[in-house]
Amino acid sequence: MHKLNNEISIKNMKTFLKISGSLLLGLIIVLSLWIHSNLKDRNPGYKADMIIRGNNLSPLKTGFAAVPITPDVPDKWTDKNGDAKYTPKDGDTFTDGNGNGVFDPVWIAGFSNGRAANGVHDDLWARTMVIDDGKTRIAIVVLDAIGFMNDDVIDVRKRIPAESGVTYTIITSTHSHEAPDLLGLWGETPYKSGINKKYREFVKDQAAKSVADAVKNMKPALLYVSENLTEAGLLVKDTRAPQISDSGLRLIRAVDKENGKTLGSLVAWADHGETLWSKNLLITSDFAHYFREGVEKGVFSGDSLVKPGIGGVAVYINGAIGGLMTTHPSLPVQDPFTGKEYMEPTFEKAEAQGKKLAMIALTSMDKPAEIIDSAGISGIVKTINLPIDNKMFKLGTAVGMLNRGTTGWMNMRSELSVFSIGPLSFATIPGEIYPEIVNGGIETPQGQDFKINPEEIPSVREMMPGKYKLIFCLANDEIGYIIPKSQWDVDPPFTYGRKDSPYGEENSLGPETAPLIHSYLKEMLSSLK
Ligand SMILES: [Zn+2]
């Protein structure tokens, strides 16, 4: 019996091992196929690389367009019993408050998970400026979004009609923390993507349309260039030492050569689009909304127009916002007319900020420092590979939370570009670069993780040609923070007397990102000159 029993149990055990073994094997295969599909390069062999040499005497044309990318959001979520619910759960059915329709929640990006939009305060946009020297046509697109990844940028480029004749398209984001998640990190829970794929497709189509429309609107133009590098400094706070920001306003107003009317403007500043902070549930482009409205339509005090606008389409571009540039709830903003001070994150605060920015911009544009009549477009574009060192980013990419492919084992494809147009130059950077890398002032604080001197020198602006130097942050990608290696601080003792690791490193690809990007830019800018 014993023998028999043993035989049975051995047989059972063998069967059990066989079944569980094949189950485990199956699971491993499914899991690795899934990870493999998440890591798969979505654009194998893609390179945006180009070298463009312009002729200095070319007459310029520009065109502008603004195409809405506002999501469909009901004003009031109600459950089946008609009770208001402010944080819908994914998968539930909802009505729009009048008992109509069923909606998927629109998850707002930035801050915490599970922030479902409860309505729309102002339209979100894909805004484009196209500039053409007769040989080269560059499109500069800005989305009211937290960020837009390189794979998605490539998709938009494929959707731009060939007849638009665009040489190169740059797609940046205003980094609004009050707009739908397009990166995937702010779904209902940390384990669920916040991306609504239908909405993302809509954004891609509208972005491509905004380029095509801007091309159709192109006219011979003069570029009025001006800047105010000091007055907007009080509207943004630097929340991490050293205190270096990128708070200068740099402005280009494109004027129709024939009738003197404004075709549009490019207004560049640098701040997180999060003045409304973490509790707001209405879709908005934050202060950028009021800034652009002010530049286009004028700045009002109550009902009376204080400063007329210039018309056309205003395109707001974000600069070096890492390290971290924000209009934090602890930073008061004063209404330029009533003098009232706003501290709490409210639409009144964002409006006061936008009005102030518009006043400074409009006043500066009244007296252009330079008028560009003709110039050639020169530029260098480079697709780069960046190693993913951050463990959470590795995991996020493997499980598809960071919804992008990889190029080789834990490398991501990204992109840099540098351009010059007469006295103007600009550099596009794929994430949130720390201002000290752009403007100088990198430090070697005690407690640094790497005992090194600043590596990212000279500063990007020192290396850029021309008189007016614009930085486009979050351009053609959002790779996270780009931190000077000598200020990298994960391990104790911490820098600047801190008790903990500062915010930034956890949302960075790794310590080699900044030196790598800087060395590419150095090479590109030296051959642009
Ligand atoms: Zn940010």
398 Cβ contact list (under 8 Å, min separation 6):
35, 38, 39
Side chain identity, residue 331: L
Distance 325 CA to ligand 1 centre (A): 8
Q: Is 58 in contact with 374 (CB distance < 8 Å)?
A: yes
CA distances from 124 to 189, 201, 289, 392 (A): 25, 15, 9, 30
Helix (H, G, I), strand (E, B) or coil at 141: strand
Helix (H) or strand (E) holding 391: helix 391-398
How many angstroms separate the alpha carbon of residue 319 from the centre of ligand 1? 11
294 CA from centroid of ligand 1 (Å): 25
DSSP character at residue 235: G
> What Rg value do the Cα atoms of the chain yield, rounded?
25
Distance 324 CA to ligand 1 centre (A): 7
How far apart are the CA of 56 and the centre of ligand 1, in A? 37
Per-residue pLDDT of the chain (529 residues; tens, 9 = 90+): 444 445 556 677 777 777 778 888 888 998 888 888 889 999 999 999 999 999 888 999 999 999 999 998 876 666 556 665 556 555 555 555 565 555 678 999 999 998 888 889 999 999 999 999 999 999 999 999 999 999 999 999 999 999 999 999 999 999 999 999 999 999 888 888 999 999 999 999 999 999 999 999 999 999 999 999 999 999 999 999 999 999 999 999 999 999 999 999 999 999 999 999 999 999 999 999 999 999 999 999 999 999 999 999 999 999 999 999 999 999 999 999 999 999 999 999 999 999 999 999 999 999 999 999 999 999 999 999 999 999 999 999 998 888 888 998 899 999 999 999 999 999 999 999 999 999 999 999 999 999 999 999 999 999 999 999 999 999 999 999 999 999 999 999 999 999 999 999 999 999 999 999 999 999 999 999 7
How far is Cα 256 from Cα 238, in angstroms, rounded to an integer?
Answer: 38
- Residue 150 Cα to ligand 1 midpoint, Å, equals 17
Distance 115 CA to ligand 1 centre (A): 17
Residues paired with residue 266 on neighbouring β-strands, in sequence order: 252, 315
420 strand-pairing partners = 378, 425
- Which of these, 142, 205, 144, 153, lies nearest to 179 by C-alpha position? 144
How far, in Å, from the CA of 316 to the mean position of ligand 1?
16
Which residues have a Cβ under 8 Å from the Cβ of 448 and sit 6 or more positions away? 486, 487, 488, 489, 495
**Whole-number pLDDT of residue 89:** 58
What is the whole-number distance in angstroms between the Cα of residue 61 and the centre of ligand 1? Answer: 34
How confident is the model at residue 502, as a pLDDT? 94
**Nearest 5°: phi and psi at 177?**
-95, 20
Q: How far is the CA of 146 from the centre of ligand 1 (A)?
A: 8
C-alpha triplet 274, 275, 278: angle, nearest 5°: 60
Tell me what pLDDT residue 2 has.
Answer: 43
Whether residue 518 contacts residue 487, with contact meaning beta carbons closer than 8 Å, is answered with no
Q: Ligand 1 mean position to 274 CA, how many Å?
A: 9
Alpha carbon of 33 to ligand 1 centroid (Å): 32
- Gap from CA of 193 to ligand 1 centroid (Å): 18
Cα(first)–Cα(last) distance of the chain, in Å?
Answer: 91
Q: Is 394 exposed, middle or buried (0-12, 13-18, 19+ CB in 10 A)?
A: middle
- Tell me the CA–centroid distance for residue 70 and ligand 1, in Å: 21
Contacts of 13 (CB under 8 A, 6+ apart): none
Residue with tokens 């639409």: 347
What is the Å distance from ligand 1's center to 322 Cα? 7
Distance 177 CA to ligand 1 centre (A): 8
Q: How far is the CA of 175 from the centre of ligand 1 (A)?
A: 7
What is the CA(6)–ligand 1 centre distance, in A? 65
* CA 71 to ligand 1 center in whole angstroms: 22
- Please tell me the distance between residue 250's alpha carbon and the centre of ligand 1 in angstroms: 21
Instruction: Kindly give, in sequence order, each residue whose CB lies less than 8 Å from that of residue 287, ignoring residues fewer than 6 positions away.
Output: 271, 273, 275, 327, 350, 351, 353, 354, 357
pLDDT at 99: 57
Residues 6+ apart with CB under 8 A from 375: 54, 56, 58, 60, 133, 421, 422, 423, 424
Centre of ligand 1 to C-alpha 148, Å, is 12
The amino acid that residue 463 corresponds to is M
Give the pLDDT score at 190: 87
Separation of CA 133 and ligand 1 centre (Å): 34
3: number of CA atoms within 13 Å, CB side? 0
Scanning the structure block, which residue is given the tokens 């005690």?
446
Determine the pLDDT at residue 4: 45
Tokens of 20: 């569980």
* Distance from the alpha carbon of residue 144 to the mean position of ligand 1, in angstroms: 14
Angle between the N-to-C axes of helices 2-39 and 391-398, in degrees from 0 to 180, rounded to the nearest 10: 100
b/e per residue 448-486 (b: at least 16 CB within 10 A): bbeeeebbbbebbbebbbbebbbbbbbbbbbbbbbbbbb
Which residues touch 447 (CB under 8 Å, ≥6 apart)? 489, 492, 493, 494, 495, 496, 498
Q: Which two tokens stand for residue 450?
A: 């790497």
Going from the Cα of 174 to the center of ligand 1, the distance in angstroms, rounded, reads: 10
Q: 217 C-alpha to center of ligand 1: Å?
A: 33
Residue type, 54: G
Beta-strand runs (E) in 151-248:
168-173, 219-228, 237-238
Instruction: Using DSSP bridges, classify how beta strands 262-269 and 249-256 pair: parallel, antiparallel or unpaired.
Output: antiparallel
Instruction: Name the phi and psi angles at 420, rounded to 5.
Output: -135, 140
CA dihedral (213, 216, 222, 225) in degrees, to 10, reads 10
The alpha carbon of 109 and the centre of ligand 1 are apart by a number of angstroms equal to 11
What amino acid occupies position 203? V
Distance from residue 458's CA to the centre of ligand 1 (Å): 24
432 alpha carbon – ligand 1 mean position (Å) = 6
